A and B are shown apart, each in its own frame.
Chain A
C-alpha cells in the first residue's frame, strides 16, 4: 500500500513537472527557442489565479478565477513574444536561454513585489479533502492533478492533429521556411505558441498551487522540469510528459529506498546518464545533418 501511495504522489508531482516540460517543448518545437522562464511563468500563473480568488486579494469565485488566470497568462505569453522574444530572432540559441533566465529573475522579483515573498496557499475547493480507495488514502488534489493532466494531454493531441491552427503549428515547427512559403503566418504562430505555453504554464501553476503553498522561488522548479523535458526527449510532446512522470516517480522512491539526501541527485544523475548515452532523449526527434 505504501508503494501505491508513493506512486500516486509521485505521479501527481510528475504531472506538474510534465506540464511545465510541455510548455518548454511547445516553444522549442515551434521556434527552437528554449524558454528557461517556463518555471517562472508557472509561478506567475499560480499567483495570478491566487490573486484572483484568495480572500485577501480579489476574492472571485474559484471556477471563475481559473479560466481568467489561464486567459491572462495566455495574453502574457503572447505579449512576451511580441515585445521581447521576437527581437532575438536569428540569434544563437544560447542568447535566448540567457535572455529567458534573466526574464525569470525579473518575473520572480515582480511576483515578490506584488504578492510578497511568504508562502501562500491557494484557496481551492479541492484542498484538504481525501478519497479512500480500498485502504489507500489519496488526496483529492493529487487525483485532480492527474485527471487534469490527462484531460489536457488529450485536448492538446486533438488540437495539434485535428484543427487547422494545430496542423499549421506542426508544419511551422518542422520546417519554418517551407511553412512560410505555404502561406502560414509563421510570426503570428510563434506568438500563439507562446500564448499556448503560457496557458499550459497557468494550468501547471494552478495545479501546483492546489497541492501546497506557493512563493516566488517555486519558479526554480522549472529547472527540474527542464531536466524532465530532456530525459523524455526535447522536442517530443509525449516525451515531455513521460520525462516529467519519470522524474516525479524517481524522487519519492529514491528518498524512500536509498536515502533522503539522494532524491534530487538521482533525478539529475539520470539526466546526465541519458544525455551521455542517449543524447536526444528517450523519444528522440533529432536527425544528423548531411553535408
Chain B
C-alpha cells in the first residue's frame, strides 16, 4: 500500500504521480528502445504497426476521450495527412522533415474546417456528420484523380532525413525508431494538453456543455481546437501509415478504418493515453493471434488451412461487445481497478468505481 502525500498544487498535474511510477515508465521506454535487438523483423514490423495505430488512437482520444465528441470519420484525417505528406514531397519537392509535420498541419486544418460548420452538433448527430465526411473523403480521393491518382493509389517515397535513408523494408529498425520518436512526442503533447487549461476546458465540455458554458468556456472554440489537434495527430499517424504500407489508395482509409479506430480506443479505455496503446495492441496483435490459433487448430485436426472470411472483424466485434457489457471503462479501466486493489489492499471495495448513471438521461433536450 502506497500513500502519495501532496505537498504542493503541482503534485496534482505532475506527469508521474510518484517516483516509482516514473521508474516503471523509464523501464518501458528502455524496453521500447532496445526492441529491435529482442525480436525478429516480422514482429518488429508488427510493433511498428501497433505504434502507428496507437498514434492514430491518441489523435482520436483527444476528441472522443477528452472532449467527448464522437467521430466516426477519422479515417478522412488519416487520408488527408497521408496524401498531403506524400504530395508535398512529390509535387513540391519538400524533404520528409518538412512534409511530415506539414501533412499533420494540413490534416489539422481539415479538422478545423470540419469542426466549424458542425459546431452545433452533439453526440449522435456529430457522429453521423463525421461519418458523412469519411464517405465523402473516400469519393473525393477517387474524383480528384489528377492529384491523387484515384483508385490506382500513390507510392510513398522512402524517407530521407539529412541523408539518412529510412526504408520500412531496407532498415526496419530505423523506421521503428522513427515511429517510436513520433509516438513519444505525441504522448508528451497529449499529456501536456490534458493538464493545461485547454485540457480542463475539453474535460468540462465533455462532462457538461451547459456547465462548461457557465464556467466561461467557449464551447464552440474548445470543440474546434480539439478537432484540430485530434485531426492533426491523426494526420501524422496517416502519413506514417502510408509510409508503412508503401502504396495506398482511397481504400486504405475507408469507413471501416474509421469505425475500427473508434472501436479500438473504446476497447483500450476512453480518456487516457494508455487506452490508445492497449487498444492498438489488440488491433495489431489480433490478426496474428487469429492466424496462429487457426494454424494450431488446423494442425491439430490434421485438415488443410481454412480461411473464414470476416472472422477477424467478428472476433473484434465480439471482444468489443464483451468489453462494453462487462468493463465499459476498457482494458485500462480494468487495469486501474486491479492496481487499486493491490495499492489499497485490503481496503478495496467493489463499489469504488461504480457507474454513476443508472437511469436514462435524455439527450434529446439540449
Chain B 132-152 per-residue mask, 1 if CB under 8 angstroms from chain A, else 0 = 110110011011000000000
CB distance from A106 to the nearest CB of B (A): 5
Interface pair B317/A103, CB less than 8 Å apart:
yes
CB distance from B90 to the nearest CB of A (A): 24
Q: Which of B70, B314, B316 has the most CB of A within 10 A?
A: B314
CB contact list, A232-276 vs B, under 8 A: 234-235, 261-262, 264-265, 268-269, 271-272, 275-276
Query: CB-CB < 8 A to A176: which residues of B?
Result: 360, 362
B262 interfacial by beta-carbon distance below 8 Å: yes
In the bound complex, what is the Cα–Cα distance between A78 and B310 (angstroms)? Answer: 26
CB distance from B68 to the nearest CB of A (A): 8
Interface pair A97/B124, CB less than 8 Å apart:
yes
B365 interfacial by beta-carbon distance below 8 Å: yes
A51 interfacial by beta-carbon distance below 8 Å: no
Interface pair A102/B364, CB less than 8 Å apart:
no
Query: CB-CB < 8 A to A223: which residues of B?
Result: 131, 135, 255
B29 interfacial by beta-carbon distance below 8 Å: no
Interface pair B132/A272, CB less than 8 Å apart:
yes
Interface pair A99/B123, CB less than 8 Å apart:
no
B6 interfacial by beta-carbon distance below 8 Å: no
A26 interfacial by beta-carbon distance below 8 Å: no
Give the contacting residue for A109; candidates B263, B311, B357; CB below 8 A. B311
In the bound complex, what is the Cα–Cα distance between A279 and B118 (angstroms)? Answer: 9
Give the contacting residue for A105; candidates B140, B313, B358, B366; CB below 8 A. B313
Give the contacting residue for B263; candidates A87, A101, A177, A235; CB below 8 A. A101
Q: Which of A88, A105, A286 has the most CB of B within 10 A?
A: A105
Interface pair A102/B320, CB less than 8 Å apart:
yes
Query: CB-CB < 8 A to B214: which residues of A?
Result: 291
Main secondary structure of the interface of A (DSSP, over half): helix
A164 interfacial by beta-carbon distance below 8 Å: no
Give the contacting residue for B123; candidates A93, A110, A269, A271; CB below 8 A. A93
Given contacts A97-B127, A227-B128, A276-B117, contact A105 B136 (CB under 8 A): no
Query: CB-CB < 8 A to B143: which residues of A?
Result: 261-262, 265
Interface pair A230/B313, CB less than 8 Å apart:
no
CB contact list, A271-288 vs B, under 8 A: 271-272, 275-276, 279-280, 285-288
CB distance from A217 to the nearest CB of B (A): 9
Give the contacting residue for A84; candidates B135, B210, B259, B325; CB below 8 A. B325
Query: CB-CB < 8 A to B139: which residues of A?
Result: 261, 264-265, 268
CB distance from A120 to the nearest CB of B (A): 16
B321 interfacial by beta-carbon distance below 8 Å: yes
Size bracket of the B interface: 35 or more
In the bound complex, what is the Cα–Cα distance between A286 and B362 (angstroms)? Answer: 11
Give the contacting residue for B313; candidates A34, A109, A117, A285; CB below 8 A. A109
Give the contacting residue for B70; candidates A94, A227, A262; CB below 8 A. A94
Given contacts A91-B357, A261-B142, A268-B136, contact A109 B310 (CB under 8 A): yes
A89 interfacial by beta-carbon distance below 8 Å: yes
CB contact list, B306-320 vs A, under 8 A: 308-311, 313-314, 316-318, 320
Interface pair B321/A94, CB less than 8 Å apart:
no
A112 interfacial by beta-carbon distance below 8 Å: yes
Interface pair A93/B360, CB less than 8 Å apart:
no
CB contact list, A37-96 vs B, under 8 A: 84, 87-95
User: Closest chain B residue to A99 by CB distance?
Assistant: B324
CB contact list, B294-340 vs A, under 8 A: 308-311, 313-314, 316-318, 320-321, 324-325, 328
Main secondary structure of the interface of B (DSSP, over half): helix
User: Closest chain A residue to B321 by CB distance?
Assistant: A102
A226 interfacial by beta-carbon distance below 8 Å: yes
CB distance from B354 to the nearest CB of A (A): 12
CB distance from B81 to the nearest CB of A (A): 21
User: Closest chain B residue to A261 by CB distance?
Assistant: B143
Give the contacting residue for B314; candidates A84, A105, A261, A286; CB below 8 A. A105
Interface pair B121/A275, CB less than 8 Å apart:
yes
Given contacts A268-B136, A275-B118, contact A102 B324 (CB under 8 A): yes
Given contacts A93-B363, A234-B124, A276-B118, contact A98 B132 (CB under 8 A): no
In the bound complex, what is the Cα–Cα distance between A99 and B125 (angstroms)? Answer: 17
Interface pair A269/B136, CB less than 8 Å apart:
yes
In the bound complex, what is the Cα–Cα distance between A98 and B264 (angstroms)? Answer: 10
Give the contacting residue for A271; candidates B120, B132, B259, B318; CB below 8 A. B132
Interface pair B124/A112, CB less than 8 Å apart:
no
Interface pair B210/A291, CB less than 8 Å apart:
yes
Interface residues of A (CB under 8 A from B): 31-32, 34, 84, 87-95, 97-99, 101-106, 108-110, 112-113, 117, 176-177, 216, 223, 226-227, 230, 234-235, 261-262, 264-265, 268-269, 271-272, 275-276, 279-280, 285-289, 291
Sample of 9 more A-B contacts, CB < 8 Å, known A272-B133, A280-B125: A89-B360, A94-B64, A99-B325, A102-B263, A102-B316, A103-B317, A105-B317, A108-B314, A112-B309
Q: Nearest 5 CB-CB pairs, A to B?
A: A105-B317, A109-B314, A102-B317, A102-B320, A289-B365
Between A and B, 15 residue pairs with Cβ closer than 8 Å are A87-B325, A90-B358, A94-B70, A98-B263, A102-B316, A102-B320, A105-B314, A109-B314, A226-B128, A271-B128, A272-B129, A275-B118, A275-B129, A276-B118, A279-B125
Interface residues of B (CB under 8 A from A): 64, 70, 117-118, 120-121, 123-125, 127-129, 131-133, 135-136, 139-140, 142-143, 210, 214, 255, 259, 262-263, 266, 308-311, 313-314, 316-318, 320-321, 324-325, 328, 355, 357-366
